[in-house]
Amino acid sequence: MKDSFRLRILAAALAAMAAGGCAREAPPPAAPKVVRTLLAGEATSVEARTYSGEVRARHETTLGFRIGGKLVARQADVGTAVRAGQVLARLDPADAALQAAQAEAQRALAAADLKRFEDLRSRNFVSQSALDAKVTAARAADAQAALARNQTAYATLAADHSGVIAAVLAEPGQVVAAGQGVFRLARDGEREVAIAVPEARLAGLAPGARAEVSLWAAEGRAYRGEVREVAPMADPATRTFAMRVRILDPDAGLGLGMTATVRFPGKAEEVLTIPLTAIHQQEKAGGQPAVWIVGKDETVSLRPVRVLRYGDGGAVVGEGLAAGERIVAAGVHKLSPGEKVRVAEAGR
């Protein structure tokens, strides 16, 4: 009897709880996310690419001795204008002179032997093969003596072209090896500007491309330029390509080492610049960049864009976005397509 009573009370309590739960109202929908937006500004026209560089000589030669020895005299400094054949430095000639004397003695001995064997051969006291051996030895001694005389001349370093000493790489008293650089000579004649171009802007800059060169030290003066050389590989540290721009109308104002600006006129292109925080990298599309477009009903949709380049001032967009469209400026990784948002701030 007691158990039956308890069951009736429990059933009544469960029914009351169910009735109360049904009477409860459904929870309100989640509030739209508050996002910061901006209006894409007016498109700007990109017509030229500009790079800074340094005026260099078309030919720069590292000069060194053809033999090793102790440097005893240096007769040119940085900035010295030299002419072809002018003596620039000398080595201690003692060792080269001794080698030349030794080679000359060997040559004289070989010549005397040859003369003696020729006399013996005329009387048939030696074979022809023995005489041929002496002839060969005499020729080798002559060549060795000539080489030793050349080595003596190599103790003097002279300029092979007219130009300006751009760098001094050794000092008197220093022992230098054969071929070691002693001077860097910037030859007279053509002048160029050495620049570095990022790989993203290399397209269209092949040898022969026209350019305009200006100097920081000569404001208002412009020179006609032409791309002469483009490095086939990027620098491993800077990831830029070295380029040489030949100056077609040089004058006396082009000093070596001056800072120059090279401007390449390019095809006009309408672009938009937006903050980097507005770019969303689509993982499913291989990292293709996109932006969130805010519609009139305040729902967002993802649209792919073509980013020309990234910089400190933002991302430069060439396609996929029109001026005046409202985009999400921050928090782009927290949205989903078709989601309704609430605009917190209207940008430009």
The answer to whether the 33-45+271-345 and 66-92+155-186 domains have the same CATH topology is no
Give the number of C-alpha atoms closer than 13 A to the C-alpha of residue 195, restricted to the C-beta side.
30
Instruction: Kindly give, in sequence order, each residue whose CB lies less than 8 Å from that of residue 34, ignoring residues fewer than 6 positions away.
Output: 341, 342, 344
Please tell us whether the domain made up of 33-45+271-345 is placed in CATH 3.30.930.10. Answer: no
Domain layout of the chain by residue ranges:
33-45+271-345, 49-58+187-268, 66-92+155-186, 93-153
Q: Does position 45 have pLDDT exceeding 80, yes or no?
A: no
- Give me the mean pLDDT over the 271-278 stretch: 84
Please state which of the ranges 33-42, 70-79, 117-126, 177-186 shows the lowest mean pLDDT: 33-42
- C-alpha to C-alpha distance for 186 and 74, rounded to whole angstroms: 18
The DSSP code sequence of 229-294 is EE-SS--TTT-EEEEEEEESS--TT--TT-EEEEEEEEEEEEEEEE-GGG-EEETTTTSEEEEEEE
What pLDDT band is residue 224 in, cutting at 50, 70 and 90? very high
> CA 71, CA 148: separation in Å to the nearest integer?
19
Burial-class residue 113 by CB neighbours within 10 Å (0-12, 13-18, 19+): middle
Q: Are 237 and 196 in contact (CB under 8 A)?
A: no
Structure confidence by residue, pLDDT tens digits, 21-34 = 544 555 566 677 77
Asked if residue 347 has pLDDT above 60, the reply is no
Q: How far is CA 128 from CA 107, 120, 132, in A?
A: 21, 10, 6
User: If DSSP codes are grouped into helix, strand and coil, which group holds residue 58?
Assistant: coil
Give yes or no for residue 140 having a pLDDT over 70: yes
Please state, for a pLDDT cut of 90, what percent of the chain lies above it.
Answer: 43
Task: State how far the Cα of 48 lies from the Cα of 316, in Å rounded to an integer.
Answer: 15
Give the model's pLDDT for residue 7: 59
Distance of alpha carbon 310 from alpha carbon 128, whole angstroms: 84
Considering Cα of 134, then 140, then 144, then 150, what sign does the dihedral take? positive
Q: Which helix (H) or strand (E) holds 121?
A: helix 94-122
* 254, 294 Cβ separation under 8 angstroms: no
- Looking at residue 11, its pLDDT comes to 64
The tens digit of pLDDT for each residue in 119-128 reads: 998 888 889 9
Helix (H) or strand (E) holding 120: helix 94-122
- The tokens for 139 are 């020729």
**pLDDT value at residue 345:** 53
What token pair was written down for 32? 């739209």
CATH code of the domain made up of 49-58+187-268: 2.40.30.170
Of the options 3.40.50.300, 3.40.50.2300, 2.40.50.100, 3.40.190.10, the CATH number for the domain spanning 66-92+155-186: 2.40.50.100
Distances (CA, A) of 95 to 56, 92, 98, 125, 152: 38, 7, 5, 41, 9
Say if residue 344's pLDDT is above 50: yes
- In this prediction, residue 348 carries a pLDDT of 43
Q: For the purposes of burial, counting CB atoms within 10 Å of the CB of 216, is it exposed (0-12), middle (13-18) or buried (19 or more)?
A: exposed
From 2.30.31.20, 3.40.50.150, 1.10.8.350, 1.10.287.470, which CATH number describes the 93-153 domain? Answer: 1.10.287.470
